[in-house]
Amino acid sequence: MKVDTSNPLWRFRGVTSAAMMFFAYLYLPIVVLIALSFNENRLATIWTGFTTDWYLVALGNDDMLRAAGNSLIIAVSATVIATLAATLAALGMSSGNRFRGEAGVAAMLALPLLVPEIVTAVATLLFFVALGVKLGLLSVIVAHTVFCIPFAYLPIRARLEGMDPSLTEAAHDLYANEWKAFRRVTLPLLWPGIMSGAMLSFIISLDDFVISYFVGGAGATTLPIYIFGMIRMGITPEVNAVSALMLLVSILFVSVSFLIDRIRY
């Protein structure tokens, strides 16, 4: 690690070891999980040899694949709807359009980030039951869309804030009407924010347990719920393998999202 000596923090003893311990605390469990997914022994905690069989077992498990399929359908649908809504919200809230109660609307958009998930889950469940909505994939998609919106909204909003308002004016100045200016200037410049927001939404949805568990019902078992069910039968390397695969997908998406968001013209 390269130490930046201009940072006064490094004058204190033990900063390095504290940082190391912090990272170990964060990542050691994940490293262990991945390592044990290659363990030959059926008892996940005793190492007897290296194998990739558990991955084959996991990928051959129909229930697991069905759960993964559900997760994918839910995540993709929720992402598309949430990103679309978030984009429109961000455009509506952009600095050009001041309106009364704007701060209130902005707070409401971000609120789902702060409300405890269990509260949202219970409330959503009661809401669906009261409305007589049949629990299943659709109800999960609706619930996921709601909590994905703030995640999609924030990066899009940040992009829009950072955009020079005279760019839109320049487009109008050069004979582009509202739609063409949006299509040719605003949207391309916003695109990295939109992609980044979409990827975040996707991961958040893929990852969700509590809300899916409450509003999913029998027909909508998602991957996290399936993993939870497997663990109750006992921790096998197969669980580790499935988890490791999920982690891989998450890392991929988060990295791409991060890279896209760094695009600067």
Give the Å distances, CA to CA, from 184 to 94, 96, 175: 18, 18, 12
Q: In angstroms, what is the minimal distance from the CB of 176 to other proteins?
A: 5
Q: In angstroms, what is the minimal distance from the CB of 164 to other proteins?
A: 6
Retrieve residue 85's tokens.
Answer: 């809504």
Which three-class secondary structure state does DSSP give residue 20? helix
Pair 58, 245: CB distance under 8 Å:
yes
Q: In angstroms, what is the minimal distance from the CB of 154 to other proteins?
A: 22
Give the Å distances, CA to CA, from 219 to 44, 71, 74, 136, 230: 30, 12, 13, 6, 17
Residue 218: burial class (beta carbons within 10 Å; 0-12, 13-18, 19+): exposed
Q: In angstroms, what is the minimal distance from the CB of 165 to other proteins?
A: 9
Which residue, 161 or 173, is less far from other proteins as judged by CB?
173
Residues of this chain that bind other proteins (CB under 8 A): 164, 166-167, 169-177, 180-181, 184-185, 188-189, 265
Rounded distance between C-alpha atoms, residue 252 and residue 55, angstroms = 18
Which residue, 165 or 234, is less far from other proteins as judged by CB?
165
Q: In angstroms, what is the minimal distance from the CB of 96 to other proteins?
A: 11
Pair 77, 261: CB distance under 8 Å:
no
Which three-class secondary structure state does DSSP give residue 39? strand
Which residue, 195 or 241, is less far from other proteins as judged by CB?
195
Residue 33: burial class (beta carbons within 10 Å; 0-12, 13-18, 19+): middle
Which residue, 11 or 264, is less far from other proteins as judged by CB?
264
Q: In angstroms, what is the minimal distance from the CB of 160 to other proteins?
A: 14
Chain-centre distance for alpha carbon 144: 11
Q: In angstroms, what is the minimal distance from the CB of 260 to other proteins?
A: 14
Q: Please, what sign has the CA dihedral across residues 260, 142, 250, 111? A: positive
Which residue, 149 or 190, is less far from other proteins as judged by CB?
190
Which among 147, 129, 131 has a CA at the least distance from the CA of 211? 147
Which residue, 53 or 173, is less far from other proteins as judged by CB?
173
Which residue, 191 or 209, is less far from other proteins as judged by CB?
191
